[in-house]
Copies of this chain bind each other. A is one copy, B any other.
Amino acid sequence: MKPINLKEKLQQFSAHWHPHRIAEVDDMQVLLAKIKGPFVWHAHPEEDELFQVLQGTLYMRFRNRVETVRQGELIVVPKGVEHCPETRNDEEVHLLLFERKTTRHTGEVNSALTQNHYPEI
């Protein structure tokens, strides 16, 4: 029940594509992530996933288009929809994610980028 400062939390890690957990809300979790470059195509068959852009510009690729999500914007990827987040122009982008605690990082896909544990900070 203490305030959580997003910028202070973001200073506590530097690895890209490695979400860190900052809070829980019922069976959901709030994650922070720093991302850069392309991720991997995946879907979460049972879970929606919210991405809020705190810094930079996120390009959310879907199979038939790309959505540009800027600082101060959010996007919800519905369950089952294949997506591939990426950043461009060598930009590091900071995200807040809101998703179920059961949501796997890259869904059914295993990749060198896949994280199975999100440290709490």
Residues of A within 8 A of B (CB): 1-7, 23-26, 28, 30, 47-50, 62, 67-70, 72-79, 81, 98-100
Q: What residues on B are CB-neighbors of A28 within 8 Å?
A: 25-26, 28, 98
Please state if B3 and A74 are interface contacts (CB–CB under 8 Å).
yes
**Chain A binding surface, main DSSP class:** strand
Chain B residue nearest to A68 in the complex (CB): B3
Please state if B6 and A73 are interface contacts (CB–CB under 8 Å).
yes
Q: Pull 26 A–B residue pairs with CB atoms less than 8 Å apart, ordered by A.
A: A1-B62, A1-B77, A1-B78, A1-B81, A2-B67, A3-B69, A3-B75, A4-B75, A4-B76, A5-B70, A5-B72, A5-B73, A7-B72, A23-B76, A24-B48, A25-B28, A25-B48, A25-B50, A25-B76, A25-B98, A26-B28, A26-B48, A26-B100, A28-B28, A30-B98, A98-B98
